[in-house]
């Protein structure tokens, strides 16, 4: 049978013409077509199959559902048949009712997409969102970072250093634990991060040349220093002029077990402590604020301090 004859035959049925009219505006699933037309599911599928066979209708799979729409890009005979069918379908007695039902189904589909967000409005930041994580935000924020030379003091195994190395010119991770240095360096090598260098040393006297880095980071490391003010002054020494220091630490707390559990030397710091030590070391543009509070007891709070070397 010629393709023209096949298309004419497919369009000779009034039910299939109804579908042509419905699939003109938007793509619809079988369930949605069923809701609009009140026809049985298998009947609808058979009709759609015949229309798709002649390329009058196209389909797209999404998960378990298939969506159908009229092939409005079709040219030649098929394109002409489709336009003729759309005009003819408007003369069918069911057309008016179908269009009203279609509007209702499409409006509900739009509402459904908004239902979740309306439900979580006001607590959206606290509920689970697929793919949304601080790690992902971290990667995004890194893209904004200029190509700096960074010293990560008390770097641990390099969680932050590795992230930074993906963007920065060079990262020097300073650690006093020999084992952690060996582990971190091996991990950096394995991950192909040639610009991440682990150095064993003390954060109060980092093995880094004076005036050589753009940024010093002390992430949850300052509370391990014997004399935190000395660590802040040492960071000032290795910074280039206009270089920045960023400190993430715990706000002063009373959870004494932190000494035993995490090897902490200081139970966090007051905002005024950090401000005072930064000022004393000669930093300018000092900003100290509390940026996070844990939901679980003992409700540790995180303090962020930043400042610039003159
Ligand atoms: C709580 S961890 C923080 C690790 C990393 N900065 C982070 O935010 O994931 C503290 C790290 O500082 C290191 N550390 C403690 N005292 C130090 C010191 N005096 N000099 C250098 N590193 C030190 C410890 O070995 C540990 O790896």
Q: Give residue-wise pLDDT tens across range 243-253.
A: 999 999 999 99
The contacts found for 188-197 with CB under 8 angstroms, 24 or more apart, are 188/158, 188/161, 188/162, 191/162, 193/162, 193/165, 193/166, 195/165, 195/168, 195/169, 195/170, 195/171, 196/158, 196/161, 196/162, 196/165, 196/170, 196/171, 197/170, 197/171, 197/172, 197/173
Rounded CA separation 159/51 (Å): 56
Tell me: pLDDT of 1 over 80.
no
Question: What is the arithmetic mean of pLDDT over 85-112?
Answer: 94
What CA–CA distance (Å, rounded) separates 273 from 54? 77
**Candidates 138, 156, 262, 300: which one to mutate for ligand 1, based on the most atoms within 8 Å of Cβ?**
156
299 alpha carbon – ligand 1 mean position (Å): 21
CA nearest neighbour of 269 among 232, 239, 295: 232
Q: How far does residue 220's CA lie from ligand 1's centre (Å)?
A: 7
Ligand 1 centre to CA of 268 (Å) is 14
**301-309 β-sheet, strand order:** 196-200, 170-175, 149-153, 213-219, 239-250, 301-309, 283-293
Confirm if 156 and 179 have CB atoms less than 8 A apart. no
Please list every protein residue whose CB sits less than 6 Å from any atom of ligand 1.
Answer: 154-156, 159-160, 174-177, 180, 202-203, 219-221, 224-225
Nearest CA to ligand 1 atom 10: 221
Predicted pLDDT at 107: 92
> In the predicted model, is pLDDT for residue 261 greater than 90?
yes
Ligand 1 centroid distance, CA of 162 (Å)? 15
| Mean pLDDT, residues 103-108 | 93
- The residue-averaged pLDDT of 62-68 equals 93
pLDDT exceeds cutoff 90 at 99: yes
Distance 253 CA to ligand 1 centre (A): 19
Ligand 1 mean position, distance from CA 154 (Å):
3
Nearest CA to ligand 1 atom 14: 154
Indicate if the pLDDT at residue 2 is higher than 80: no
Mean pLDDT of the chain: 95
β partners of residue 171: 150, 196
Atom of ligand 1 nearest to the CA of 156: 27
């Amino acid at each position: 049978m010629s393709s023209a004859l096949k298309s004419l035959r497919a369009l000779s049925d009034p039910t299939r013409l109804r579908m042509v009219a419905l699939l003109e505006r938007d793509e619809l699933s079988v369930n949605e077509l069923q809701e609009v037309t009140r026809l049985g599911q298998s009947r609808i599928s058979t009709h759609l199959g015949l229309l798709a066979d002649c390329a009058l209708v196209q389909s797209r799979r999404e998960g378990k559902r298939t969506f159908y729409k009229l092939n409005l890009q079709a040219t030649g005979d098929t394109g002409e048949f489709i336009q003729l069918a759309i005009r003819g379908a408007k003369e069918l007695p069911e057309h008016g009712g179908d269009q009203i039902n279609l509007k209702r189904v499409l409006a509900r589909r739009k509402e459904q997409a908004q239902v979740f967000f309306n439900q979580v409005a006001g607590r959206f930041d606290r509920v689970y969102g697929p793919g949304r994580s601080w790690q992902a935000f971290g990667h995004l924020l890194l893209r904004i970072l200029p190509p700096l030379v960074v010293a990560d003091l008390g770097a641990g195994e390099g969680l932050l250093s590795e992230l930074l190395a993906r963007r920065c010119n060079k990262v020097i991770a300073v650690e006093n634990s020999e084992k952690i240095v060996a582990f971190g360096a091996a991990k950096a090598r394995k991950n192909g991060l040639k610009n991440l260098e682990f150095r064993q040393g003390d954060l109060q006297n980092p093995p880094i040349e004076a005036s050589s880095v753009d940024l010093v980071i002390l992430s949850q490391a300052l509370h391990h220093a014997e004399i935190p003010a000395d660590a802040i002054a040492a960071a000032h020494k290795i910074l280039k002029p206009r270089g920045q220091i960023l400190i993430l630490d715990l706000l002063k707390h009373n959870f004494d077990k932190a000494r035993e559990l995490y090897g902490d030397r200081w139970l966090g710091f007051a905002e005024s402590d950090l401000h005072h030590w930064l000022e004393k070391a000669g930093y300018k543009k000092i900003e100290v604020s509390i940026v996070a509070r844990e939901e679980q007891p003992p409700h540790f709070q995180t303090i962020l301090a930043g400042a610039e070397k003159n």
